[in-house]
Chains A and B, each alone.
Chain A
Amino acid sequence: MVCNEIQQNIEAYLDGELTLSDRRDFEEHLGNCNNCQLRLEAVRKLNTSIKKIGYSSRPSGLKRNIRAGLLDLSGEDSPGFNWSQLLGFSGASALFAGVGVWLVMGVMINSPLQLAHTDELISAHVRSLMVDHMTDIASSDRHTVKPWFNGKLDFSPNVVDFKDHGYPLVGGRLDYLKGRPTAALIYKRRAHVINLFVRKADTPAQITTMQLIQHQGYQLLNWQERGLTYTLVSDLNSKELQAFANKLQP
């Protein structure tokens, strides 16, 4: 017999998508058509194999990170931030090894003042993502980027390329934040852009406190060192941003 049954009908039958009358017609045809029985069996086998692939287990921190993000977005009072949890495998020990210089405390601050400044930093980050606003000096060579800031700033930011660690330097830019000239160093992590803002600190701090702020889907890491304030801003996940901050410390 001649079989004109189209492949999509066979699949729609298996997917339970045929109307009752189409289903009856198809089954009647199927009973007499060896060809269609084989084709149907082949698709059924394939579908079963695909179903067997099932789920891969999701990363353990995903739910927690989303919860933290939701808390932040909803503007509720956030619970204290647990740094040892955040650092996890990325090496709490490595961080605490440099405790002479670094005293790390975890807090999430939502004071209005803090948020106003956070908005300013995020705006500066977002502005930099717009076409042709990312760099004033586009270079992955730190010996080109560092001298470029000479005469533009009253301090000299340390410029290091972390290409070997997966955080290549893309370039530098001059910004004004809180009315101060600010060095912006641009790094990348895969497709994520990371802005590192360096400016003179308002008050020289003896104790260095690192802060993580999550706001509007962006992560900010903030710390002071030797009279300079450093802020990382990116939409990169906080774990990898933290790992990058660890590399930036001398």
Chain B
Amino acid sequence: MANRKERQRFERLMMGHLDGAYNLALWLVREPAEAEDIVQTAYMRAFEHFHTFTGGNAAGWIMTIVRNTAYNWLNKQKRNSNLISFDEVLHSHEPDNRKQLTPEEAVSINARSSQLMEQMERLPVEFREALFLREIEGYSYKEIAEITQVPKGTVMSRLSRGRGQLQNLLLEQQKRRQQNGM
């Protein structure tokens, strides 16, 4: 019963990463029903291509398939219009048009998880992805580069710009709250 053994091996290696896979999809597409669909699709696709998994990092392998499936969906949706406009090819050599915060401003930021997530959703999807893989999953730059299929330098730049933009957004939010006396 080769099929059965193969399926059992797949489940043993991949089912343990379901929480990470679902949350990655959720961070990327931001809608639970879609994230569920994407993970289901990704796992089916992964099983169909399981013969290409040559051992090693199972989590990284399944995460790559999940994020590729999520990006396919995002591309189809063309719903990036409500995100901060982002074209890495065009803008990668320009400084972010937001100002660099002073160290005093940056350190004054206090954000609760709900406030943070609200601002996180305004980041370009590639920045959110890098931050998720780094801070929630704890992957190294090299591992993130492999999963997202970009050079390590791009990972560093996405993390740094993501954090910088988050700090900007959070500070603006904090100032608005203070003005409203909240």
Contact = CB atoms under 8 A, between A and B. Distances in A.
Contacts of B18: 58, 62-63, 66
B7 A191 contact: no
A49 B116 contact: yes
Nearest to A63: B18
Nearest to B25: A58
A76 interface: yes
Nearest to B43: A66
Interface string B102-144: 0110110111110011001000000000010011100011000
A62 B1 contact: no
B113 A53 contact: yes
Interface string A112-154: 0000000000000000000000000000000000000000000
Interface in A74-111: 74-76
Interface stretch (B51-59, B82-90, B154-162): B154-162
Interface of B: 1, 3-4, 6-7, 10-11, 15, 18-20, 22-23, 26, 32-34, 36-37, 39-41, 43-45, 47-48, 73, 76-77, 101, 103-104, 106-107, 109-113, 116-117, 120, 131, 134-136, 140-141, 156-157, 159-160, 163-164, 166-167, 170
Interface of A: 7-8, 11-12, 15-17, 35-36, 38-39, 41-43, 45-47, 49-56, 58-59, 62-63, 65-67, 69-71, 73-76, 190-192, 217, 235-237
